[in-house]
């Protein structure tokens, strides 16, 4: 008799467990549906001086050595503290995240790649830095450095690790590497006076001799000069190199 009751109880318990497991499984199925719609994370990365891992989405650029000097300057000085920052071409958001961490009052980050915009936003939210952060998608058809800004929008600090080489991008991920006829570079030179506040600073990370020499050649036409914040000589470097070289765009006389 007791054996029969025990068997009946164990069948009941097993049944309850099955139902409970199915119920428990349902949110997992829902999560799967949500994650299918989210952009795909290509990899998780760690960077020196940045304790948390950073997500990198499909088609989004990842080479943190490009911005070693820029990030060191942000992390070890008051460059961005309580300042408004614009980052042109944010990619995964790495430089913007550093700026937010270093106490920037606000950061606006642009990119021509929709995945980069979502990637930067994702990382900022994941690191709880999203409230001072805004992203703007640049149209490939109107891809000037300041094309998403209105003329009265000005910043204390403008930062960029622009695409380095003079070539035509053939896919959205190639916009990270190629800047045909250095159009983005030229548009930075054209718009810097409009969008930098008095006393503001504009810093670029470039790891390409051609890009740095072009910048130095074009800058005087805009009343600007280029200061290399790096001990290396271009003559000693290959045409394309890492870590990138930090350069600052300054007015030829006085300050912005």
Residue 25: CB atoms within 10 A of its CB come to 10
Backbone region of residue 185 per phi and psi (left: phi > 0; alpha: psi in -120 to 50; beta: other values) = alpha
In the complex, minimum distance from the CB of residue 67 to ligand SAM, in angstroms, rounded to a whole number: 5
Cα 68 to Cα 161: distance, rounded to the nearest angstrom: 11
In the complex, minimum distance from the CB of residue 159 to ligand SAM, in angstroms, rounded to a whole number: 8
Q: Which of 84, 99, 161, 214 binds ligand SAM (CB under 6 A)?
A: 161
Q: Which of 80, 108, 112, 247 binds ligand SAM (CB under 6 A)?
A: 112
Per-residue binding letters, 68-107, with ligand SAM (x by CB under 6 A): --------------------xxxxx-xx------------
In the complex, minimum distance from the CB of residue 203 to ligand SAM, in angstroms, rounded to a whole number: 12
In the complex, minimum distance from the CB of residue 154 to ligand SAM, in angstroms, rounded to a whole number: 18
The nearer residue to ligand SAM, 86 or 224, going by C-beta atoms, is 86
Which residues inside 163-192 make contact with ligand SAM, applying CB under 6 A? 163, 175-176, 184
The nearer residue to ligand SAM, 183 or 216, going by C-beta atoms, is 183
Does 66 bind ligand SAM (CB under 6 A)? Our answer is yes
Partners of residue 114 on adjacent β-strands = none
Q: How far is CA 125 from the centre of its chain?
A: 13
Distances (CA, A) of 7 to 4, 17, 226: 5, 15, 85
Residues 6+ apart with CB under 8 A from 69: 205, 229, 230, 243, 244, 245, 246
**Is the peptide bond prior to 76 cis by the omega test (within 30 degrees of 0)?**
no
Does 156 bind ligand SAM (CB under 6 A)? Our answer is no
Q: How many of the chain's residues bind ligand SAM (CB under 6 A)?
A: 23
Cα 122 to Cα 206: distance, rounded to the nearest angstrom: 26
Residues at the contact surface with ligand SAM, assessed by CB under 6 A:
61, 66-67, 88-92, 94-95, 110-113, 116, 138, 143, 161-163, 175-176, 184
């Amino acid at each position: 008799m007791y054996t029969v009751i025990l068997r009946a109880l164990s069948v009941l318990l097993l049944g309850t467990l099955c139902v409970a497991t199915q119920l428990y499984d349902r949110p997992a199925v829902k999560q799967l549906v949500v994650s299918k719609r989210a952009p795909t994370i290509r990899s998780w990365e760690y960077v020196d001086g940045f304790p948390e891992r950073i997500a990198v989405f499909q088609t989004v650029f990842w080479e943190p050595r490009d911005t070693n000097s820029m990030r060191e300057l942000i992390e070890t000085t008051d460059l961005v503290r309580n300042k408004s920052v614009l980052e042109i071409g944010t990619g995964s958001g790495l430089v913007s995240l550093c700026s937010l961490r270093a106490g920037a009052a606000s950061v606006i980050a642009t990119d021509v790649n929709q995945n980069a915009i979502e990637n930067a936003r994702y990382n900022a939210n994941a690191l709880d830095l999203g409230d001072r952060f805004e992203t703007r998608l640049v149209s490939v058809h109107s891809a000037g450095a300041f094309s998403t800004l209105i003329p009265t929008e000005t910043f204390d600090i403008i930062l960029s690790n622009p695409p380095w080489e003079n070539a035509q991008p053939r896919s959205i991920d190639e916009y990270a590497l190629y800047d045909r006829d250095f159009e983005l570079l030229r548009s930075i030179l054209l718009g810097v006076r409009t969008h930098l506040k008095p006393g503001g600073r504009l810093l670029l990370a470039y790891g390409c001799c051609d890009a740095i020499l072009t910048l130095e050649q074009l800058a005087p036409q805009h009343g600007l000069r280029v200061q290399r914040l790096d001990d290396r000589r271009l003559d000693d470097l290959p045409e394309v190199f890492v870590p990138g070289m930090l350069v600052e765009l300054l007015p030829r006389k006085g300050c912005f």
